[in-house]
Amino acid sequence: MTDVFEQVEEELRSERWKRLARKWGPVVGGALALALVVALAFWGWDSFKTSQGEKAAVAYDRGMDALQANDAAAAEVAFTEAHKVGNSAYKALALNQRAGLALQRGDADQAVELLDQAVRADRDPILADQAALKAVWILMDEGGTLEDIEGRLEPLIKDGRPQRVMALETQAMARLQFGKTAEARQTFVQLQLGQDVPDSVRQRAQIGIAAIDNGTAAAIPDVLRQPVPAAAPAPASPAPVPEQPAPAQ
Same domain, 164 and 214: yes
Q: How far is CA 34 from CA 45, 182, 237, 247, in A?
A: 16, 66, 83, 107
> Are 92 and 118 within 8 A, CB to CB?
yes
- With beta carbons less than 8 A apart as the criterion, state whether 63 and 97 touch: yes
Could you tell me the CATH number of the domain that includes residue 62? 1.25.40.10
Res 14: pLDDT: 61
DSSP classification of residue 246: P
Taking the alpha carbons of 215, 217, 222, 223 in that order, is the dihedral positive or negative? positive
- Single-letter residue type at 119: V
Q: What is the structure's pLDDT at 56?
A: 87
Q: List the domain range (segments joined by +) for residue 187.
A: 149-224
Domain co-membership, 139 together with 156: no
Residue ending a domain, choose from 88, 118, 144? 144
Does residue 233 form part of some domain? no
- What's the pTM? 0.68
Tell me the C-alpha to C-alpha distance, in Å, between residue 1 and each of 9, 15, 191: 12, 21, 98
Listed residues 88, 122, 144: the one ending a domain = 144
- Alpha helices for the chain (secondary structure H): 2-68, 72-85, 88-104, 108-121, 125-141, 146-153, 164-177, 181-193, 199-213, 220-225
The Cβ of residue 207 has, within 10 Å, a number of other Cβ atoms equal to: 12
Number of domains within the chain: 2
CB 128 within 8 A of CB 155: no
Which residues lie closer than 8 Å to 157 by C-beta, 6 or more apart? 164, 167, 168, 171
Q: For the segment 71-102, what is each residue's pLDDT rounded down to a tens digit? A: 999 999 999 999 999 888 999 999 999 999 99
> What pLDDT is recorded for position 195?
85
- Positions of the chain with pLDDT lower than 50, given as ranges: 1-2, 4-5, 8, 27-48, 224, 227-249
Neighbours of 187 (CB within 10 A): 22
